[in-house]
Structure formats: C-alpha cells, structure tokens
Amino acid sequence: MLHLETLQETVVDCIIQQNVMTITVETDFELQAAIDPLVPALKEAVKETGFSLSGVTAKKRRPKDQSALVEEFIEKDGGRKVDVKI
C-alpha cells in the first residue's frame, strides 16, 4: 500500500501472465476518467519492454472493515502467500 500525498492510501496491483500485464489502481477516489487518456502512451512504453498492456482499471477501495478481515485472515494463515478474492 502506498501512502501518497494527494491520493492518500493507494494500492497498485500489477498482474503479468505470459507477457500480458493488467494494472489495477485502488484509491478512495474515482480515477478512471483521469487514467483513460494516459493508457495509450503507457501501452506503447510497456510494448517497448517486450510486454503488452491489456488494461488499466481504477477502483474505489473497499470499506476498511473488509480490509481488516482480509489482514486478520492473512495473519492467522501464518504469513504464507495466498491469493484471496472477495
């Protein structure tokens, strides 16, 4: 989690499978309209590195009580790496 001055708590999730990248940005703000104009330039920059960008999605963060539940689950799991989808 990033703590940015303007966006405050921000999560950037980057998934790469078979050289295809998907980026999700989670904040407390609606950012999709601000991100959309930047995607073509980002796709070109990513392409130059040998990858392709399938998309960039902005999502509003879930309420903190759900975040606490996920963190509690991970702590009880002993810190092993797991994928959790809600």
| Span 32-77, pLDDT tens digits | 999 999 999 999 999 999 999 999 999 987 766 555 666 666 666 5
Question: Domain ranges in the chain?
Answer: 2-76
Return the pLDDT at 41: 95
3-state SS, one letter per residue, for the chain: CEEECCCEEEEEEEEEECCEEEEEEEECCCCHHHHHHHHHHHHHHHHCCCCEEEEEEEEECCCHHHHHHHHHHHHHCCCCCCCCCC
Return the pLDDT at 83: 59
State the pTM of this model: 0.66
